[in-house]
Amino acid sequence: MFKKAVITLISLLLASALLGGCSAGDTSSETYSDTAFMLDTVVSVKIYGVPEADARAAVDAAFSEIARLEGVLSSNIVGNGIDLLAQNAGTGYTELDYDAVYVLRKAVEYAELTGGAFDPTVGPVVALWNIRNGSGYVPTDEERAAAAALVDYNKILFDENGRVMLADTGMSVNLGAIAKGYIADRVKALLTSMGIEHAVISLGGNVLAFGGKPDGSDFVIGIQDPFGSTGEIAATVSVRDMSVVSSGDYERYFEADGIRYHHIMDPFAGAPANSGISGVTILSDKSVDGDALSTAVFVLGRNEGLELIESLDGVECVLIGSGGERTVSSGLKDSVVFR
């Protein structure tokens, strides 16, 4: 999987190098995109409808902002606020950056909405399994139970000064299921402030499109086929201003004794969620919402997940079951095309 991501990155880089070679006066030269490996995934920003120099400046600014926010929100950076929060768990409050507090509060909202299917305090379970593409650890039942016992979003305490504390020693926060969505929203705000009106921000399975194409047509966003290789599409959706976020068991996993262990955890079991879903795609206005919901619906499974999505205004979903079954929420029936 990791190799695949690198190969995808290399081919995307080659493709963007080729695109960059358009001759002056060619209207396509007014579209500029760049790709990088950030946030543990392939990130690309594509700008339409402005001169190339402006687009380049916008893409550079976007990448800087992504790097900054990765530093603030990542669980793998020694000494950042998320790390200090874990170090101070059970003992004291930690002052966090504005963005970390905002995302943490959003994460708690979604934990409440989903009864803990989505839970940012899943950190100890994520750390225990340590799932990378192609490697990980299968814990004992005791180890799973011990990690699951540390998961409880009600034990994230906020004081009146905006500082945060995890109530019990051993607790930690992992914002991996919501951070990319938040970052996409921030990058959109940044690009908009720079005068960009048409763009597609793609952070791994997190796509945020805005403004449609300059010629008035929609962006067509592919939905990864959970059973295909990376880049193989199960369906497409046409969008103008919309976040399209996918979560799936194909994104990060390892195999042991013929079993696939993927990265989306059932916080109660302390183990990869086994809900009968292989891929979830959420359409929403804001990517932070789509990101939290994509992970939550994966954990909840088809029936509960669909019920949740149907109860929310302006949110739609496409679900692909582990046997290939397809489910589309009621507001999306006409705009999704399966291959």
Please report, as ranges, the residues that interact with ligand AMP according to CB under 6 A.
Answer: 118-120, 122, 126, 174, 176-177, 247, 251-252, 263-265, 267, 291, 294-295, 299
Determine if 294 is a binding residue for Mg ion (CB under 5 A): yes
Is residue 93 left, alpha or beta, with left meaning phi > 0 and alpha meaning psi from -120 to 50? Answer: beta
Among 121, 295, 315, 320, binds Mg ion (CB under 5 A): 295
120: number of Cβ within 10 Å: 28
How many residues does the structure list for the chain?
A: 339
Site string for Mg ion, 213-252 (x = CB under 5 A): ----------------------------------x-----
Number of residues that bind Mg ion (CB under 5 A): 5
119 binds, among ligand AMP, Mg ion, none (CB under 5 to 8 A by kind): ligand AMP
Our CB check for Mg ion shows the closer of 275 and 295 to be 295
Candidates 195-203, 211-219, 290-298, 306-314; binding stretch for Mg ion (CB under 5 A)? 290-298
- Cβ at position 299, least distance to ligand AMP in Å: 5
Our CB check for ligand AMP shows the closer of 278 and 294 to be 294
- Cβ at position 249, least distance to Mg ion in Å: 13
- Cβ at position 177, least distance to ligand AMP in Å: 3
CA 56-59-63 angle, 5° bins: 140
Our CB check for Mg ion shows the closer of 177 and 237 to be 177
Determine if 284 is a binding residue for Mg ion (CB under 5 A): no
Record the tokens describing residue 3, joined without a space. Answer: 């190799």
- Cβ at position 282, least distance to ligand AMP in Å: 10
Our CB check for Mg ion shows the closer of 70 and 291 to be 291
174 binds, among Mg ion, ligand AMP, none (CB under 5 to 8 A by kind): ligand AMP
- Cβ at position 65, least distance to ligand AMP in Å: 19
Determine if 291 is a binding residue for Mg ion (CB under 5 A): yes
HEC letters along the chain: CHHHHHHHHHHHHHHHHHHCCCCCCCHHHHCEEEEEEECCEEEEEEEECCCHHHHHHHHHHHHHHHHHHHHHHCCCCCCCHHHHHHHCCCCCCECCCHHHHHHHHHHHHHHHHCCCCCCHHHHHHHHHHCCECCECCCCCHHHHHHHHCCCCHHHEEECCCCCEEECCCCCCCCCCCCHHHHHHHHHHHHHHHCCCCEEEEEECCEEEEECCCCCCCCEEEEEECCCCCCCCEEEEEEECCEEEEEEECCCCEEEECCEEEECCEECCCCEECCCCEEEEEEEECCHHHHHHHHHHHHHHCHHHHHHHHHCCCCCEEEEEECCCCEEECHHHCCCEEEC
Amino acid at 235: A
Our CB check for ligand AMP shows the closer of 198 and 262 to be 262
Our CB check for ligand AMP shows the closer of 41 and 94 to be 41
- Cβ at position 308, least distance to ligand AMP in Å: 14
Our CB check for Mg ion shows the closer of 177 and 200 to be 177
Our CB check for ligand AMP shows the closer of 72 and 265 to be 265
Q: Which residues bind Mg ion (CB under 5 A)?
A: 177, 247, 291, 294-295
